[in-house]
Structure 1
Amino acid sequence: MKTVEQHVRDVLGLIAPPEPTEVDLLQAHGTVLAEAVVSPVSLPGFDNASMDGYAVHAADLSAATADDPVRLPVIADIAAGDGSPVAVPPGMCARIMTGAPVPTGADAVVPVEWTDGGTTTARFDRPVKGGNAVRCAGDDVREGAEVLRPGVRVGAGEMGVLASVGRRSVSVFPRPRVVVLSTGEELVEPGRPLGPGQIWESNSFMLAAAALDAGCEVHRHGFVGDDAATVLDTLEGLLMRADLLITSGGVSMGAYDVVKEVLTQQGTVDFTQVAMQPGKPQGFGTFGPDGTPILTLPGNPVSAFVSFQVFVQPVLRRLRGLDPRPLPTTRATLTSPVTSPPGRRSFLRGVLTEPAHGADVRPTVAPAVRQGSHQLSALADADALVVVPEDVTELRAGAAVEVMRLPEG
């Protein structure tokens, strides 16, 4: 059997680096930047008021008190977006709104709450420091500064930065197009009645959701039965939609393992066994005239889920233009004992509990009670995979283990 690390290297070897593309700003949401973004201007581009109030010379108010207030004539109203030149001589003030340019001569803004709110003259009953409530030009970003680096995922904050430096479009790595397909004559679409020996199909929904969580465009084809010709025709018909094909089921050693039967004949897909539990039967290769990568996962639901997290996640990261690193890990303390078959690395579902803030202890992880590869019910509660090495067959409660953190939805 192959090691987990070797199979990760093999599947990553299928993936060519993605080509960047220029997209409109909103289309960039959720994608990964393919360029460094440099600001063409300083931000703010001019000194402006951070509060509604009055633009003043701070020296004019140095002696102001509640008992002996200073009164200044109001010579102008300055609104946000007002580009007309305004100058405030000493001994005078201008009413100013948030975001409006600070007029020439003024060096501070007095919040309106500190005044009587006058429109012809304003009363000031306290001093103010120079620079108060003034956002200086360039105090956020200097012209020519790099504001976003390549490899950053474009979320809401990044979108705001892009717009604030005037970008209408940006170069990104497009979202990978992932097609998900399950196989099995026993499968029935959820919502339809079950016949004898049938089950509702869940793998394609689970894997499609996992690919969506990973930032991909996803087409869930659903499932097909165990007829080889139908499977082949279906896969060929899905190629135009796919940068990556993912199948589940039909890859073991049984008489009806149709995915293995069909793709073995193509000569471009290898089927192998990986020293892990769950998820031992795996397949990988290319399909179709353009060599579209295909990963064939086992049909047991938990096996398919674990295989996705261990093998597919790094592939999707590379397709998105990211470093294809595995899921993040941490060390945690087991709350109950676990067992594992010799010679295979186990990935057990578990619930991770972080220590109280400031506590100098490891997190704890509680393994799920039901760990069978068909037992999907415990998966919704799990936020981690407990990793038991190949040379370990049992671990007691209190033992330290490596834990893979599952992605948050």
Structure 2
Amino acid sequence: MSKRVIFHDLVTLEQASEILLKFAKPLGEEEVDISASYGRVLARDIVAPIDVPPFDRSTVDGFAVVAASTYGASELTPVELRLVGRVEAGGWPQGEVKAGDAYEVATGAPIPRGADSVVMVEYTQERDGVVRIFRPVAPGENLMSAGSDISAGEVVLRRCTRLTAREIGVLAALGMRKVRVIKRPKVGIISTGNELVPPGEPLGLGKLYDVNTYTLIAAVAEAGGEPIPYGIVEDVEKSYRAAIAKALSETDVVLISGGTSAGVADLTYRVLGELGDVLFHGVMVRPGKPTLAAVVNGKIVVGLPGYPSSALMIFHTIVRPFLLRLQCLEPMPPAVYKARLAYGIEGAKGRRALYPVVLIARGSEYRAYPLYAESGAISVLARADGYVIVPENVEFMSEGEEVYVYLFEKYKPSDLYFIGSHDPHLDAVLARYNVKTVYVGSLGGLMALKRGEADMAGTHIYDPETNAYNVPYVKKLGITNVAVVGLYKREQGLIVKKGNPKGIGGVEDLLRGDVVYVNRPRGTGTRALLDLLLSELAEKMSTTLESLAKKIRGYTYEVKTHTAVAAAVAQGRADVGLGVRYAAELYGLDFIPIGWEEYDIVVRKYVLDKAMKIVEEALEKLPPGYQPYEHSRRIKFEN
């Protein structure tokens, strides 16, 4: 005669969840085709093998030009340019564009050498080899530069990222057909009770349709597991034991609904107690008190209440977190957050504007950090947490303005927020930590620290007045409660084609008419270095930086990363660019050293211990073109 089970030692929901999570061990990894990867979880970091896009391309139908050739153009006084070629998407331009030239390009087509912008076809008129321009363009307008979306060598997706349409688009853009993912937990589902019948069958007296099997199949699938139903098992011990044994032999986790209360016919507690160890029996919650869990041969078995609503609620509160942890995932907060803008954003002049943002948690408040990207950019969606909406009738939203962030996925707060200059070696190290990264250049990172948005900022800005890097700017900007940590020195130089066919020897060669340069954006340390070198050259030549800049073909041709500079040189869109040695070696290019710069991390004091662990790991194995500081100079400045 079976005895009733009395619940003596009840646990809280939190305790029940914590007990299960202790058994959430990884299940290994497997390779799948990206067409079958939706909802799967990355087992490894994804490092971009190529630049995206792999070449400078037009984002509109129009004419590739040198922007300066269009200045002054208007409806009344159009500028006339010489048509020197045409290229369609999928083709490759022949020849190059010089001042006074125009080259017809289709949307997505490569930009010819020498051009730095595209005039939309709507603002042009072409006849007999002459193109009339009715509106000027600025350098970089209507084109997407190589590597501006994704740079080769960049960690674009982190391990433990759940793959959705956005991330799969990134994988496809990188040319990756297969991807390594964490194995999905196979979850056996058993419904117990003499009163149950499957849906679709006649419902006899005293019978109920089996609801739990189907709700749990859906809930397991939503949690990323692979549900395996074993049907209805009657309250007969022999059948019960056979069903549990079969499920344990074929799956990773077993869920049993029903058979957990104190009724005389209930078998789950007794059978699981004989097969393994009961972890808890009874939870301080209503409904769901009779919930139990056991470990049998290293596998978790959870007994859920028989009532469907109770079973589903308990699943979501304690089982779902366990299944997610098996896949390197965590349950997340709600899908909409109220936040304040980190800086102002413009509206779309009569259209609704959607801005991808990184959500930065600051105590009980959130800051939305807009991510700007060219049309067609895919990587920004993988990096963003969600987006904010600028209504049609709003022209500008100011810094500090309250917005709603609509999340792409459930939000996962980061331990640290790194904003500033991109470094490919450090980026790979940060990928191993729960760090959110936003790359906006050295000065942008320091300003993010000043505004309270960043915990760490990467920077490499030289101050000629003090002959020092970074520390003078921290002082000038009045950034307090921080330490400037000397990470390492990076070798900067001119990146040129293998064999240096143009015979470039130094910055003075950028002034030659046969040399095309590729530049970095304002606010980056590399751009500041170039302008410093040009200023020194201008002083020797008794002229100004501005006058020298006008003589450099490509000075206004800007790309976001060091690898994008190397890509431009490797593909012949430019002859030379300034960047780190690492980027040159990545593309098999020659490198003309200019000097070593100091790349530092400015860190808020309250995270200094965490930051130093990252620093030490970054220094363990440095790639070519990097040198460590002496240990005595690790902390360069504190205030």
Q: Give the shorter-chain TM-score range.
A: 0.7 to 0.9
| Residue in 2 that maps onto 1:217 | 226
Q: Which amino acid aligns with 2:328?
A: G
Matched AA of 1:92: D
Cα drift, residue 184 of structure 1: 0.4
Give the TM-score, by structure 2 length: 0.48
Picking from 26, 41, 52, the partner of 2:35 is 26
1:76-124 CA-to-partner distances (Å, cap 9, x unmatched) read: 1111222353312333311101121111222221111111254733222
CA deviations 1:268-297 (Å, max 9, x no partner) are 34561222211111222233xx53321111
Secondary structure of 1:116's counterpart equals strand
Within the alignment, does 1:291 sit opposite 2:294 as a pair? no
Q: Distance in 2 between matches of 1:136 and 1:58?
A: 15
User: Are the aligned partners of 1:260 and 1:271 in contact in 2 as well (CA < 8 Å)?
Assistant: no
Shift in alpha-carbon separation, 1:257–1:263, aligned structure 2, 3 A: same
> Could you tell me whether the CA contact under 8 Å between 1:39 and 1:147 is conserved in 2?
yes
CA distance in 2, matches of 1:283, 1:177: 20
Q: In 1, distance between residues paired with 2:174 and 2:335?
A: 37
Partner of 1:234 in structure 2? 243
Task: Give the direction of change, closer, same or farther, for the CA distance of 1:114–1:15 in structure 2 (3 Å limit).
Answer: same
Q: 1:306 aligns with which of 313, 320, 323?
A: 313
Percent identity of the aligned residues? 38
The counterpart of 1:3, out of the listed 5, 12, 34, is 12
1:213 to partner: Cα distance? 1.4
Match of 1:206 among 189, 207, 215: 215
**Given the alignment of the two structures, is residue 268 of structure 1 paired with residue 247 of structure 2, yes or no?**
no
Following TM superposition, the consecutive aligned residue runs of length 4 or more in structure 1 with deviations greater than 4 angstroms are: 325-330
Structure 1 residue 42, shift from structure 2 partner: 2.9
Unaligned runs of 5+ in 1: 331-406
Distance verdict in 2 for CA 1:51–1:285, change over 3 Å: same
- In 1, distance between residues paired with 2:334 and 2:136? 54
2-side partners of 1:129 and 1:4: how far apart? 60
Which aligned pairs between 1:88-237 and structure 2 lie closer than 5 A? 88-118=97-127, 120-237=129-246
Q: How far 1:328 moved relative to its partner?
A: 6.4
Q: Distance in 2 between matches of 1:261 and 1:326?
A: 35
1:326 Cα offset (Å): 7.8
Looking at structure 1, the residues matched to 335 and 164 of structure 2 have their Cα atoms a distance apart, in angstroms, of 24
C-alpha contact (below 8 Å) 1:314/1:326 kept by paired residues: no
Q: Is the contact between residue 18 and residue 321 of structure 1 (CA under 8 Å) also seen in structure 2?
A: no
Is contact 2:272–2:294 with CA below 8 Å preserved after alignment? no
Is the alpha carbon distance of 1:281 and 1:77 closer, same or farther for their aligned partners in structure 2, counting shifts above 3 Å? Answer: same
Equivalent residue letter for 2:30: T
| CA distance 1:46–1:221, change in 2 (3 Å) | same
Query: Whole-Å Cα distance in 2 between the matches of residues 134 and 267 of structure 1?
Result: 64
Aligned residue pair count: 328
Task: Give 1:256's match in structure 2, choosing from 265, 273, 279.
Answer: 265
Residue by residue, what CA displacement relative to the aligned partner does 1:134-177 show, whole Å, maximum 9, x if unpaired?
21222222332221112211111111112222323222212211
User: Where does structure 2 lack aligned partners over 5 or more consecutive residues?
Assistant: 1-9, 337-409, 411-639
Aligned-residue RMSD, C-alpha:
2.4
| Distance apart, 1:329 and its partner CA | 12
For residues 275-327 of structure 1, the C-alpha deviation after alignment (integer angstroms, 9 at most, x for no partner) is 2211111222233xx5332111121222212211221011111111224x587
Q: Does 1:87 align with 2:82?
A: no
**Separation (CA, whole Å) in 2 of partners of 1:95 and 1:45:** 20
**Which of residues 24, 44, 48 in structure 2 aligns to 1:15?**
24
Between structures 1 and 2, the one with greater helix share: 2
Alignment match, 1:349:
none
Q: 1:267/1:68 Cα in 2 relative to 1: closer, same or farther (>3 Å)?
A: closer
TM-score normalised by the chain length of structure 1: 0.74
Distance 1:315 1:147 in 2: 27
Bigger drift between 8-17 and 105-114 goes to 8-17
- 2:87 is aligned, of 78, 98, 107, to 78
For 1:318 and 1:55, locate their aligned partners in 2 and report how far apart those are by CA, in whole Å.
Answer: 51
